[in-house]
């Protein structure tokens, strides 16, 4: 569904005369292959290129070199643009800066309006999308009075209403409190399981990643590690080198094992830990 073929992206800075001052490779020959229905997590320090990568999936940015294919469509081709953006929706970090309309339902309807969905169907889609994220009760409210977690769910509904195959979320929980974080993660997990929507989640919170099918670790514009959460979180020291971390319970298990206790190699959740020790 999402294919990156040796994608390089350069931010070029020019001085006042237009001469090139510096070139910053935000992405460096990145290969990525995401299958339909996957739940993918991308980890990486600030400035590692995660957000640049995310913006390529939605064709907000196009590669300097290499090609990005979304369902076999090249993102560089102008004629594919709307189709690509309809297929791969995007949720951003700041909930305030992505809600366009003054009413929840009107905001959810914004995307379908843009792609020319007939009026009657827009209403059906809005009702469906709000239902899926559990925000039906707020449909006629102003977004300004919602909590951060609720705003992000509205943003997700806005994308759902476009019937996407894939949702890319760029640090959607960075500005939320624990409850808001939980709401958002539960919502996207359910969309992935029940609706079969491909999820690409970019985050700094390690505990949000344990449910993913695959985890990619980025550093300096490259994908450095890739595998199941269990394969990734096994390498505690290496992750720390990339300015990342592992969930606390994983680290405890890792250190107990190092001290010779008989604990399986990679524990991801408290439940798993309990199962191992109680049998």
Partner 1 sequence: MLRDITIGQYYPTESVIHRLDPRTKFLGTIIFVVSLFLFKSFWGFLLTGGFLVCLTVLAHIPFKYVLKGMRPMLFLLLFMMIFTLLMTPGEVLGEWWIFTVTKEGIYAALFMGLRLTMLVLGSSLMTYTTTPNKLTAGMESVFGFLKIFKVPVHELAMMISIALRFIPILLEETNKIIKAQQARGADFESGGPVKRAKAMVPILIPLFVSSFRRAGELAEAMEARCYHGGEGRTKMKPLKYAKRDLVAYLCLIGLIVGCIFIP
Partner 2 sequence: MSLILDKINYYYGKGTAFESKALKNISLSIPDGEFIGLIGHTGSGKSTLIQHMNGLIKADSGNIYYNGQDICDKDFKMTELRRKVGLVFQYPEHQLFESTVIKDVLFGPKNIGLSQLEAEVAAYGALRSVGFSDDLIDASPFELSGGQKRRVAIAGVLAMSPEILILDEPTAGLDPAGRTEILSLLKTIKDEKGITVILVSHSMEDVAEFAERIIVIDDGEIKFDDEPRKVFSHAEELRKMGLEIPQCTELMSRLADAGFNVDRTCLTVDEAVASILRSAGRGE
Q: Where does this chain bind partner 1 (CB under 8 A)?
A: 55, 58, 60, 82, 85-86, 89-90, 92, 94, 96-103, 105-106, 109-119, 122-123, 126, 140-142, 144, 158-159, 162
Contact partner at residue 142 from partner 2, partner 1, none, CB < 5 to 8 Å by partner kind? partner 1
Q: Cβ(249)–Cβ(266) under 8 Å? A: no
Taking the C-alpha atoms of residue 19 and residue 262, their distance in angstroms, rounded to an integer, is 61
CB of 242 to partner 2, least distance (A): 8
Q: Cβ(177)–Cβ(188) under 8 Å? A: no
Buried b (16+ CB within 10 A) or exposed e, 13-27: eeeeeeeeeeeebbb
Question: Which stretch in 33-41, 120-128, 188-196, 251-259 sits in contact with partner 2 by CB under 8 A?
Answer: 251-259
Backbone angles phi, psi at 141, to 5 degrees: -95, 160
Residue 211's H or E segment, with its range, is none
Q: Cβ(148)–Cβ(166) under 8 Å? A: no
CB of 102 to partner 1, least distance (A): 5
Q: Which is nearer to partner 1, 50 or 214 (CB)?
A: 50
CB of 90 to partner 1, least distance (A): 4
CB of 163 to partner 2, least distance (A): 31
Taking the C-alpha atoms of residue 238 and residue 266, their distance in angstroms, rounded to an integer, is 14
Q: Which is nearer to partner 2, 114 or 248 (CB)?
A: 248
List residues binding partner 2 (CB under 8 A).
44-47, 93, 147-148, 171, 174-180, 204, 206-207, 240, 243-245, 247-249, 251-252, 255-256, 259-261, 270, 273-274, 277-278
């Amino acid at each position: 569904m999402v294919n990156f073929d040796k994608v390089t992206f350069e931010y070029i800075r020019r001085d006042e005369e237009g001469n090139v001052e510096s070139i910053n490779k935000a992405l460096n020959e990145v290969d990525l292959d995401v299958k339909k229905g996957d739940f993918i997590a991308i980890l990486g320090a600030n400035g590692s290129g995660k957000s640049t990568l995310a913006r390529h999936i939605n064709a907000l940015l196009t590669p300097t070199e290499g090609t990005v294919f979304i369902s076999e469509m090249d993102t560089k081709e102008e004629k594919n643009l709307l189709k690509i953006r309809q297929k791969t929706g995007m949720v951003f970090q700041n909930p305030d800066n992505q809600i366009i309309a003054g009413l929840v339902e009107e905001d959810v309807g914004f995307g379908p309006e843009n792609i020319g969905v007939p009026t009657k169907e827009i209403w059906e889609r809005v009702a469906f999308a709000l239902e899926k994220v559990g925000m039906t009760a707020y449909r006629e409210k102003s977004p300004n009075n919602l909590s951060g977690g609720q705003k992000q769910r509205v943003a997700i509904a806005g994308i759902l209403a476009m019937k996407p195959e894939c949702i890319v979320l760029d640090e959607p929980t960075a500005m939320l409190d624990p409850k808001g974080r939980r709401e958002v993660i539960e919502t996207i997990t359910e969309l992935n399981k029940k609706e079969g929507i491909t999820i690409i989640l970019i985050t700094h919170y390690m505990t949000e990643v344990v449910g993913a099918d695959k985890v990619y670790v980025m550093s300096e514009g490259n994908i450095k590690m890739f595998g199941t959460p269990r394969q990734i979180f096994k390498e505690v020291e290496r992750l720390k080198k990339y300015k990342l971390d592992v969930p606390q319970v994983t680290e405890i298990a890792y250190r107990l094992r190092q001290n010779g206790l008989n604990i399986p190699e990679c524990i991801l959740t408290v439940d798993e830990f309990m199962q191992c020790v109680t049998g």
